[in-house]
Structure 1
Amino acid sequence: MAPRVGILGRGRFGGVIAGLCVRAGLEVDSTGSGDADALARVATADIVILALPLGRLETVPPHALAGALVVDATNYWWELDGARPDLEDPRTSTSESVQRWLAESRVVKAFGHASAWELENLGRPAGDPARRALAIAGDHPDDVARVGALVDALGFDPVPIGPLAAGAMVEPGTETFGADVGAEELREIIARFPRSQRGRVIARARGVDPSRLPALW
């Protein structure tokens, strides 16, 4: 049975994902964070996609999404979100910050390392050799599989990369962010992340050798 998708955020990014869902024949509902009745309706969806600016996360009442499977498609941008040392901290990931706020939800990281334009224009049917891949990070295999099925339905190859903490590998400043590559190349990028500049920054902040980063995820 096709999932019903709820989208929290009515900006450009959320609108593109809503359009992809409609094109795929999925039932979709969207709202901003300020409409309590609409938020309650969206929260009952099988998958809720968080497409708000990350700096507005705390306008979302955690209890409203209690028990929901939430896809974190956000990124931290200081120009938009303001200076937030908690979101800049390389000892954690922004998706883990989302999970801490939405403590009663199950958070999976996906979609955020592609732009709205890329999502709108680069989707391809399954099996197309030019199909782009999207990374997915989450702590619960069943949730990762459900989000992977949605990614596939919207025209992209899903590539699980590890638990939610591994979402640090797809944030702005990483090689993965904005990479228009297929599944095999995406896996190669993820595999070499510990040797990347961002990987070394994270390893230094956490007091470990870069080669040990995969064990921390």
Structure 2
Amino acid sequence: MKITVIGAGAIGGNLAAKLAAAGHDVQVADARGPEAVRAEVLESGARAADLAEAVKGRDVIVLSIPFGVAEQLADLFAAVPDETVVIDTSNYYPGMLSEPIEAVENGRVESVWNAEQLGRPVIKAWNAALAGTQQTRGVPAGTPGRIAIPVAGDSEEAKRVAMQLVDDTGFDPYDAGPLADSWRQQPNGPAYCTELTLDELPAALAAADRAKDAAVRDSVPERLATLPAEFTLDDVVEMNRAAHR
């Protein structure tokens, strides 16, 4: 499959490397130019590409960009065919990673708002797993305890494609319903970055509470400050789980 990952940070870099290792034709583009793509991202066979060229003739485009900047790519995506699957991996952290966005603060679902800014439908995937989880804890299908990742969207065909790619990166995909329900996998609900299995994930998504989860999200800096100076991936996962006990 021909895939472009836009964004060469931790999440985008992980996905580009994993998808290339799985045998896909992967390009990585960054607004800062091809030179911004780290060498280790390309070790599995992905190629750095110019942003304008990287969206042409692709089956899938993965957006691993900061939440709130999708509108800046709307003109670029205007010429992308409707059949191209667009996957959004972003998360909304107002006051930490982005400025508060009025529509989202007033209840607009994050990825629904992102799709509106981009001017086309998106699938929500890979946002509910930490970068360290994505990088180190993917395992082959059928492995006991395999971590599951929720995938939400309105097109069943596009969602099927995204779920196959989640599987290719080493995780069990779970159909989390329409995009309007993707708030259940956003920060910091019970299903967000808690490394749950396919059996555990549905109950965590069902237990999501928008007001409570937003409060947990906003308390992340204070809770991180309570962790050891050299905290581990397991420490962060346990912190996220503990917030919902």
The interval holding the TM-score normalised by the smaller chain is: 0.7 to 0.9
Q: Write the letter of the residue equivalent to 1:33.
A: A
Q: Which amino acid aligns with 2:13?
A: G
Q: 1:159 aligns with which of 167, 174, 185?
A: 174
Paired with 2:3 and 2:170, the residues of 1 have a C-alpha distance of: 16
What is the letter of the counterpart of residue 97 of structure 1?
W
- Count of residues paired in the alignment: 196
SS for the counterpart of 2:129 is: coil
CA distance in 2, matches of 1:18, 1:182: 23
Q: Does 1:22 align with 2:31?
A: no
Flag the 1:107–1:43 CA change in 2: closer, same or farther, 3 A: farther
SS at match of 1:193: coil
How much has 1:101 moved relative to structure 2?
Answer: 1.6
Instruction: Say yes or no: does 1:143 pair with 2:178.
Output: no
Cα distance between partner residues in 2 of 1:55 and 1:40: 23
CA distance in 2, matches of 1:113, 1:128: 20
Whether the 8 Å CA contact 1:92–1:168 is kept in 2: the answer is: no
Deviations 1:109-146 (A, max 9, x none): 00011111110011010000121000000001111111
Confirm or deny that 1:5 pairs with 2:18: no
Q: How many Å separate the matches in 2 of 1:189 and 1:13? A: 23
Q: RMSD in angstroms over aligned alpha carbons?
A: 2.3
Alignment pair present for 1:109 and 2:109: no
User: 2:183, 2:210 within 8 Å by CA — same for their partners in 1?
Assistant: no
Judged with a 3 Å threshold, the aligned counterparts in structure 2 of structure 1 residues 38 and 175 are, in CA distance, closer, same or farther, namely: same
Give a deviation string over 1:8-59, Cα, whole Å, max 9, x none.
1111211111111122121100112366953333343211111000132222
Residue 69 of structure 2: aligned partner: 56
Partners of 1:195 and 1:38 lie apart in 2 by 35
Counterpart residue type for residue 80 of structure 1: L
Structure holding more helix per residue: 1
**Distance apart, 1:196 and its partner CA:** 8.5
Q: Which residue of 1 aligns with 2:199?
A: 184
Instruction: Give yes or no for contact 2:152–2:159 (8 Å, CA) kept in 1.
Output: yes
Distance 2:108 2:191 in 1: 17
* Partner residue, 1:208: none
Quick check: 92-101 or 31-40, which moved more? 31-40
1:119 equivalenced with 2:134 (yes/no): yes
Partner of residue 59, structure 2: 46
Corresponding residue for residue 100 of structure 1? 116
Aligned to 1:73: 89
Change (3 A) 1:43 1:109: farther
Gaps of 5+ in 1: 200-217
Q: Aligned partners of 1:43 and 1:52: how far apart in 2?
A: 18
Q: Which residue matches 1:207? A: none
1:39–1:64 contact (8 Å) kept in structure 2: no
Q: Structure 1 length normalisation: TM-score? A: 0.82
